[in-house]
Chain A
Amino acid sequence: MDIKIEKDGAINIISVSDRLDSNTAGDLEKKFIPKIDAGETQFILDFAELDYISSAGLRVLLHAAKKLNQTDGQVVLCCVKDEVKEVFEIAGLAPIFPIYADRDGAISAFY
């Protein structure tokens, strides 16, 4: 799994590739949560290159969403592959994580 973090104005764009599972979720948590603790509030997760997510990955995203909820922050997803999207739907998490088809759409969620 590779994690890339870019900044577009106040928005943090985190691209995650390959697999987000029990083996890799801790790496994302270590990069994502400290940003929230440092006061960042706007996040896009770009899943264009993400092939797989398990509950271990969902748990990290829920942890982040809970923290962001306390600071009026927000995290949205973009470019999510069908199989990964279905995991969010089965888990009942689609209402918590708005999914946009592309990055521009996700960016517009913050304006």
Chain B
Amino acid sequence: MEIRIANRIPEIEQVCEKIEDFGKSIGLDQKFIFALHLALDEILTNIISYGYDDKKTHEIIVNLAIDKGSLVMEIEDDAHPFNPDQAPQPDLDTPLQQRKIGGLGIYLVRNLMDSLRYESSHGKNKLTLMKQIKNDDASN
């Protein structure tokens, strides 16, 4: 399934609703769908909030597929290159007062998905997220 959206925050909810419908249609349980939804939301929020300097409309393409028992989600954009491997680690152990607020989004994505792969070429970024579908992730 392919979904194309413009780089506007309110569009994230629409794409996430489609992802939820897709997940339900193939029988994934609520917990798995929640994880997909949250991971995609975090990635799209990052791209849209920090990826562009201009005010122009940019297209972001989300692809969803099942491959060898895993859910594979690809996100393609023409924003500034952003490698999640270089994202700062969130500050989870520091006392609240000294804690920096940030880096939480990518940290959540890493914990929700099994793998993240980032590629950048010809001004395009492609992020591939994978999550294995285990037997108990199916709702029926």
Do residues A23 and B9 form an inter-chain contact, with CB atoms below 8 A? Answer: yes
Do residues B41 and A90 form an inter-chain contact, with CB atoms below 8 A? Answer: no
Residue of B nearest to A70 (CB): B97
CA of A91 to CA of B41, assembled, Å: 15
Interface SS of chain B: helix
User: Given A23, A52, A54, A63, which contacts B105 in the complex, CB threshold below 8 Å?
Assistant: A54
Residues of B within 8 A of A62 (CB): 96, 99, 101
Interface digits, A75-104 against B, CB 8 Å rule (1 contact, 0 not)? 000000001000100111000100000000
Do residues A90 and B30 form an inter-chain contact, with CB atoms below 8 A? Answer: no
CB distance from A33 to the nearest CB of B (A): 13
Instruction: Count A-side interface residues using an 8 Å CB cutoff.
Output: 22
Q: Is B139 an interface residue (CB 8 A)?
A: no
User: Given A54, A55, A83, which contacts B31 in the complex, CB threshold below 8 Å?
Assistant: A83
**5 tightest A-B CB contacts, nearest first:** A92-B92, A55-B105, A55-B104, A22-B45, A83-B34
Residues of B within 8 A of A90 (CB): 108, 111-112
Q: Is B49 an interface residue (CB 8 A)?
A: yes
Residue of A nearest to B102 (CB): A59
Interface SS of chain A: helix
Given known contacts A21-B13, A23-B10, A54-B42, A69 and B97 CB-to-CB distance under 8 angstroms:
yes
Q: Is A19 an interface residue (CB 8 A)?
A: yes
Do residues B101 and A59 form an inter-chain contact, with CB atoms below 8 A? Answer: yes
Q: Is A66 an interface residue (CB 8 A)?
A: yes
Q: Is A107 an interface residue (CB 8 A)?
A: no
Q: Is B126 an interface residue (CB 8 A)?
A: no
The 24 sampled A-B contact pairs (Cβ below 8 Å) are A19-B13, A21-B41, A22-B9, A22-B12, A22-B41, A22-B45, A22-B48, A22-B49, A23-B12, A52-B37, A52-B38, A54-B38, A54-B45, A54-B105, A55-B105, A58-B104, A59-B101, A62-B101, A63-B101, A66-B96, A87-B108, A92-B90, A92-B92, A92-B93
